[in-house]
């Protein structure tokens, strides 16, 4: 499980969507729960890939760094440090100033991974 997580994050950091998708179970569920932007959910590889490809032009670069990793029997919780340089202006939530292209966005959060059949079956991001 840890190897799959590290491979997924490495592909994410390279903006390698095919590399990310190759590690996913066919029925992958992806959730992003954000204090600023609400909840985004996809179900299945096709929807995940569409969302991943749609997000690529938003960033000049992006990097997730593992701060800690806790493995369970079929799940893992990963504390993530996230940094991205924006390629486009992004609205901010909760009365904050919008983020501008060229600015660096930094977040900390937790991602919970669940596994089935040797693949990643669920990714739940909390930030």
From first to last of the 127 residues of the chain, give the pLDDT tens digit: 999 999 999 999 999 999 999 999 999 999 998 876 678 899 999 999 999 999 999 999 999 999 999 999 999 999 999 999 999 988 766 556 788 999 998 989 999 999 999 999 999 999 8
Q: Where are the domains of the chain?
A: 2-126
Three-state secondary structure readout of the chain: CHHHHHHHHHHHHCCCHHHHHCCEEEEEEEEEEECCCEEEEEECHHHHHHHHHHHHHHEEEEEEEEEEEEECCCEEEEEEEEEEEECCCECCCCCCCCECCCCEEEEEEEEEEEEECCEEEEEEEEC
Q: Which CATH code is given to the segment(s) 2-126?
A: 3.10.450.50
């Amino acid at each position: 499980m840890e190897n799959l997580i590290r491979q997924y994050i490495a592909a994410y950091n390279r903006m390698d969507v095919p590399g990310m998708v190759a590690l996913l179970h066919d029925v992958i569920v992806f959730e992003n729960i954000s204090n600023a932007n609400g909840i985004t959910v996809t179900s299945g590889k096709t929807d995940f890939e569409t969302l991943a490809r749609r997000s690529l032009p938003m960033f000049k670069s992006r990097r997730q760094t593992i701060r800690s990793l806790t493995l369970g029997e079929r799940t893992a919780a990963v504390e993530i440090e996230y940094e991205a340089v924006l390629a486009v202006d992004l609205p901010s939530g909760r009365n904050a100033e919008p983020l501008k292209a060229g600015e660096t966005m930094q977040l900390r959060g937790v991602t919970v991974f669940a596994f089935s059949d040797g693949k990643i079956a669920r990714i739940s991001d909390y930030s």
